[in-house]
Structure formats: structure tokens, C-alpha cells
């Protein structure tokens, strides 16, 4: 995905205000009715509709009129909100080049005020899964972003919490700096993913170190679940750093043994092939946790401390409920419930307005989506490589812009009409027409508006 941050510079206060209004609306609507965006943003003289046109032009929002007229954030729009928040917090001052494309993320360099370069990971859940659900595109068309944004936020929160906890326990991980929405800021690792390394001075030492980490993780009650040559970084001194934590599980997970063995096997296979290390073939030979005899470490013989996940991660802000939601996503293999159109927005909306500048929950109860490919599709991360994601992303983008082009003329007409109506409503004092989605304003409009005003003046 292209991330043209120049656009960010040209976006006005009003643009961000309306973008935030769309995000807030998405808390209870997968597609946020235009009138709701207008009400939340409360720009004068129907200004919201003009701004929406601008946001559409820059692909920060997507227009949808299949059920009713409304908008949702695109990943780009979500990126900009996260970046803006981080910049306001002083975490970094500018965004540089893209340094990595994961299967479900984009990694960029960012620079702080004093010139320190950091890494920014933008989670993009849904990329891989799209491949498996092409045939269900219509079904997913209007739902996916709503879910993907929510799940990407969870993935970022989880990754941040793990990175912090692991760092505190002395694991070689990037320094976790901050997290907002689907974005994690961490220290930049000066090295290469192991997959790019053709030669090592001391392959045995590096191998022992890496397998040692798998064991050490298990002793702390954790399994990486994606421990392979793509997620291990090596620097010029052959120092190892592990990355990529959203899929980690506890050693008490029902498939823990399988995940542990898979991580171990990946490392054995890679080192065998790439660096010609030879190992004993029998995986069950060892009854000790170490690998000095060259055999696979055995999960059952490791002295595992449990509870690491629950206690320390909850302390970092990643709750059991978040984990349950992610598990549901990963393990779901059948379609589930739907989002209610009748939820009341106003109470939460007011609360959200006060709380924003930090991660704004998109939904407590995301819809469950049929993944088509099943859990393997998500669990076999890295196996498809980055090129697939690009292709996929390109396809999504072209799909969206196609649809957008088709709708543009119609939309401009519609937006102008709504704008006129809003202006006349403002002048004539009567309420704008209501949407199909029931929406009650409990808070009283003036207090509600002044809260938004307060929040957004900071921009
Ligand atoms: P994904 O979850 O999508 O696989 P990763 O966290 O594995 O994403 O990151 C993808 C790639 O980005 C990595 O293979 C690596 O090349 C690069 N990368 C990620 N984090 C950092 C970092 N902190 N410093 C330097 N490069 C990084
Ligand atoms: Mg990775």
C-alpha cells in the first residue's frame, strides 16, 4: 500500500475532524451513515460533505451506498489517524521509506525530532485472508474493513504488550516505544532477516542461540508460533533479535505442543538446509530441554512457568477478552453473527470523544467472518511471502477505485444534495433526516458538540 504522507501535511483540521468522526461512527456501524458523520463532526453549513469529497479523493474513506448512504475508513485513513496521534504525542516527527512488507503488515522508518530513526509497523490483518475469500467478496465487501481494522488494532496491541514484557525479561526484541490503533513504534533493528543471510561466521552458535530462545520462551510460558527465518533478525556481529509477536500463545494453549514443535522444526530445517548443519533425525530422542546432543528439544521436559500471559500482558493493556477475540478470528471457520443496526451510539460516542488520542475501539464484538481458508491460512504466516500481499493489495485498491469511479458522479450529486439539506436544516432549524440505522442522541447536542470541539482543537 502506498503511504503518501505528503497528503497528511495538506489535510486541514476539518479533514481530520471528519475522518475522526467516521472512525467514531465505525464503533457501531460498519458503514457510517453520512448524516451521522455530519452530526459527529458538526461542521458549519454542511461542511462535512465537502470534506468527505476531499477524503474520498485521497482514498482515506470509502463510500458505500448499497444499504444506505455512508462511509467507512480505509486502511490509509486509519494510518493517517494513527500517525497524526503519534506525531501529536511527540513520538516521531516524520515518516520515511518503507523497509519491510510482512504478510500482514507494512514497516516504515520514522524519525524523531532529534533525528533518531525508529521502525513503525502498521498491521494489516485481512491481506492474506482476502486471497481465500475471493469468491465471497460480495459478502465481505461491506464488512471486511470494519473487522480488519478492529483486528489489526488488537494485533498491534498484543504485539506491543508482548514486546514490552519480553524486553523486560531480557529477551532480544526491539524496544517497544508506543502503540496507537493498528500502529506499533519500536526501535529499528540494524540487521537483516535471517532469510537474507547466506553465510554465517558461527552458524552453530547462532543456531544454539535461536533454539535456546525457543526454550527460554517456553520456560516463560510462551510459544512464538511463527519462529522462522523471516522473524529472526541478525546483525553484522551475528547478534540475534526476534520480531513479530501478534500470534504468540501460552504454553497452556491446547495446541501448544504442536506450535512448539513447529517452531523448533522450522529452525532445524532452515539451518540444515542453508548452513549444512546436521542433526539427529529422531525428534523423540531427547528427554532434556537442551540441544547439546543435536536432537530436538522436547516440549514436555521443559520446566514451563505459566501465567506470564495473563498477568504481565494484562498489565500492559492486552486483556483476556482481546485474546479471545483474536483467537476467534484465527480459529473461526464458519460464519457467525451480524452487527446490530439498532445499537445506541450516543453514550459511547461521547465517552469515545473524551478518550480519543488513544486507540479508539472500533467494536467490542466484531462480526465473525467466514475465512474460507480456515485457520491454516492465518497460521502459516510468511509461507506465501510478500509479493502475494502486494498483488492482493493492488487488487483491493483497484477494486475500490473502480467502485469509487463508478460512484463518483452519483456521489458528488448526492453529497451536494445532502449539503444543501444540511444548510437548509441549519437555517430552518429542522432536523436533518435520519438514517436507517437507529441513532439516538442521549447526550444533548450542545454538550456533545463542545466535547468534540475541545478534543479536536488540539489539532
Ligand atoms: P509481519 O507480521 O507482517 O510478518 P514483521 O514484524 O515480521 O511483519 O516485519 C516484516 C519485515 O519488516 C521483517 O521481516 C523485517 O525485515 C522488517 N522489520 C520489522 N520490524 C523491524 C524492526 N524493528 N527493525 C528493522 N526491520 C524490521
Ligand atoms: Mg513476520
Q: Which of 83-97, 113-127, 425-439 has the lowest mean pLDDT?
A: 425-439
Is the beta carbon of 186 within 6 A of some atom in ligand 1?
Answer: yes
Among the bound ligands, the one closest to the CA of 227: 2
Average pLDDT rounded to a whole number, residues 104-113? 94
pLDDT-derived band at 388 (thresholds 50, 70, 90) equals very low
Q: Tell me, what's the pLDDT at 323?
A: 78
pLDDT of 429 over the 50 cut: no
Is the beta carbon of 230 within 6 A of some atom in ligand 1?
Answer: yes
Record the cell numbers describing residue 416, joined without a space: 451536494
Q: How far apart are CA 401 and CA 206, in angstroms?
A: 47
C-alpha distance from residue 226 to each of 70, 175, 220, 379, 380 (Å): 38, 19, 17, 8, 8
Residue whose CA is at the smallest distance from ligand 1 atom 6: 244
Q: What is the CA radius of gyration of the chain?
A: 24
Q: How far apart are CA 15 and CA 456, in angstroms?
A: 11
C-alpha distance from residue 215 to each of 2, 196, 247, 365 (Å): 39, 24, 17, 35
Strand partners, 61: 73
Classify 80 in phi/psi space as left (phi over 0), alpha (psi -120 to 50) or beta: alpha
pLDDT-derived band at 240 (thresholds 50, 70, 90) equals very high
Q: Is the CA virtual torsion 89, 90, 91, 94 positive or negative?
A: positive
pLDDT of 337 over the 70 cut: no
Q: Tell me, what's the pLDDT at 433?
A: 36
pLDDT-derived band at 295 (thresholds 50, 70, 90) equals confident
pLDDT-derived band at 10 (thresholds 50, 70, 90) equals confident
Burial class for 389, CB neighbours closer than 10 Å (0-12, 13-18, 19+): buried
Cβ(241)–Cβ(188) under 8 Å?
no
Pocket test for ligand 1, best of 92, 101, 102, 196 (most atoms within 8 A of CB): 102
pLDDT of 355 over the 70 cut: no
Q: Tell me, what's the pLDDT at 117?
A: 97
Please state, as a whole number, how many other Cβ atoms lie within 10 Å of the Cβ of residue 352: 20
pLDDT of 140 over the 80 cut: no
Cβ(48)–Cβ(38) under 8 Å?
yes
pLDDT of 163 over the 80 cut: yes
Q: Tell me, what's the pLDDT at 1?
A: 56
Structure-model confidence comparison of residues 3 and 68, the more confident one: 68
Q: Tell me, what's the pLDDT at 384?
A: 33
Q: How far is the CA of 79 from the centre of ligand 1 (A)?
A: 17
pLDDT of 383 over the 80 cut: no
pLDDT of 438 over the 90 cut: no
Residues marked active site are found at: 226
Structure-model confidence comparison of residues 163 and 126, the more confident one: 163
Alpha helix (H) ranges present in 179-283? 203-219, 256-275
Over residues 65-84, the pLDDT tens digits come to 999 999 999 999 999 999 99
Residue whose CA is at the smallest distance from ligand 1 atom 9: 102
Q: Which ligand 1 atom is nearest residue 382's CA?
A: 4
Pocket test for ligand 1, best of 1, 75, 99, 100 (most atoms within 8 A of CB): 100
Structure-model confidence comparison of residues 176 and 280, the more confident one: 176
Parallel, antiparallel, or unpaired: how do β-strands 176-180 and 183-187 relate?
antiparallel
Q: How far is the CA of 244 from the centre of ligand 2 (A)?
A: 5
Cβ(109)–Cβ(96) under 8 Å?
yes
318 backbone dihedrals φ, ψ, rounded to 5°:
-100, 115
Q: How far apart are CA 117 and CA 189, in angstroms?
A: 10
Is the beta carbon of 173 within 6 A of some atom in ligand 1?
Answer: no
Residue whose CA is at the smallest distance from ligand 1 atom 23: 188
Query: What percent of the chain is predicted at pLDDT more than 70?
Result: 60
Please state, as a whole number, how many other Cβ atoms lie within 10 Å of the Cβ of residue 217: 24
Say whether 319 sits in a helix, a strand or coil: coil
Amino acid at each position: 500500500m502506498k503511504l503518501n504522507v505528503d497528503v497528511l501535511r495538506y489535510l486541514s483540521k476539518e479533514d481530520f475532524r471528519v475522518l475522526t468522526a467516521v472512525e467514531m461512527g465505525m464503533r457501531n456501524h460498519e458503514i457510517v451513515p453520512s448524516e451521522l458523520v455530519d452530526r459527529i463532526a458538526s461542521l458549519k453549513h454542511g461542511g462535512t460533505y465537502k470534506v468527505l469529497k476531499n477524503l474520498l479523493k485521497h482514498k482515506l474513506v470509502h463510500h458505500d451506498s448499497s444499504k444506505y448512504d455512508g462511509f467507512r475508513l480505509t486502511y490509509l485513513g486509519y494510518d493517517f489517524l494513527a500517525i497524526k496521534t503519534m506525531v501529536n504525542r511527540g513520538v516521531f516527527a516524520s515518516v520515511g521509506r518503507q523497509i519491510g512488507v510482512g504478510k500482514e503488515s507494512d514497516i516504515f522508518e520514522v524519525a524523531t525530532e532529534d533525528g533518531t530513526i525508529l521502525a513503525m509497523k502498521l498491521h494489516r490483518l485481512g491481506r492474506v485472508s482476502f486471497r481465500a475469500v475471493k469468491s465471497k467478496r460480495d459478502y465481505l465487501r461491506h464488512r471486511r474493513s470494519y473487522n480488519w481494522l478492529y483486528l489489526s488494532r488488537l494485533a498491534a496491541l498484543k504485539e506491543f504488550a508482548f514486546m514490552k514484557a519480553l524486553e523486560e525479561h531480557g529477551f532480544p526484541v526491539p524496544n517497544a516505544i508506543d502503540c496507537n490503533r493498528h500502529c506499533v513504534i519500536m526501535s529499528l533493528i540494524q540487521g537483516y532477516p535471517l532469510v537474507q543471510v547466506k553465510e554465517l561466521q558461527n552458524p552453530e552458535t547462532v543456531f544454539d542461540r535461536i533454539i535456546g530462545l525457543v526454550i527460554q520462551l517456553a520456560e516463560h510460558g510462551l510459544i512464538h508460533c511463527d519462529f522462522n527465518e523471516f522473524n529472526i533478525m541478525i546483525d553484522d556481529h551475528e547478534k540475534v533479535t526476534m520480531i513479530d509477536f501478534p500470534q504468540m500463545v501460552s504454553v497452556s494453549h491446547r495446541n501448544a505442543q504442536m506450535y512448539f514443535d513447529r517452531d523448533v522444526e522450522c529452525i532445524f530445517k532452515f539451518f540444515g538446509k542453508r548452513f549444512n548443519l546436521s542433526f539427529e533425525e529422531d525428534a523423540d530422542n531427547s528427554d532434556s530441554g537442551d540441544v547439546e546432543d543435536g536432537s530436538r528439544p522436547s516440549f514436555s521436559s521443559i520446566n514451563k512457568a505459566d501465567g506470564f500471559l495473563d498477568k504481565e500482558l494484562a498489565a500492559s493493556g492486552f486483556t483476556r477478552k482481546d485474546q479471545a477475540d483474536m483467537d476467534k478470528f484465527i480459529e473461526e471457520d464458519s460464519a457467525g453473527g451480524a452487527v446490530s443496526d439498532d445499537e445506541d451510539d450516543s453514550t459511547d460516542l461521547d465517552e469515545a470523544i473524551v478518550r480519543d488520542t488513544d486507540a479508539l475501539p472500533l467494536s467490542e464484538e466484531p462480526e465473525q467472518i467466514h475465512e474460507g481458508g480456515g485457520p491454516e491460512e492465518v497460521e502459516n504466516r510468511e509461507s506465501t511471502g510478500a509479493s502475494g500481499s502486494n498483488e492482493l493489495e493492488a487488487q483491493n485498491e483497484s477494486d475500490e477505485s473502480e467502485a469509487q469511479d463508478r460512484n463518483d458522479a452519483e456521489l458528488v450529486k448526492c453529497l451536494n444534495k445532502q449539503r444543501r439539506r444540511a444548510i437548509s436544516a441549519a437555517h430552518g432549524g429542522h432536523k436533518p433526516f435520519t438514517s436507517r440505522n437507529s441513532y439516538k442522541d442521549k447526550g444533548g447536542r450542545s454538550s456533545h458538540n463542545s466535547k468534540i470541539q475541545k478534543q479536536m482543537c488540539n489539532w
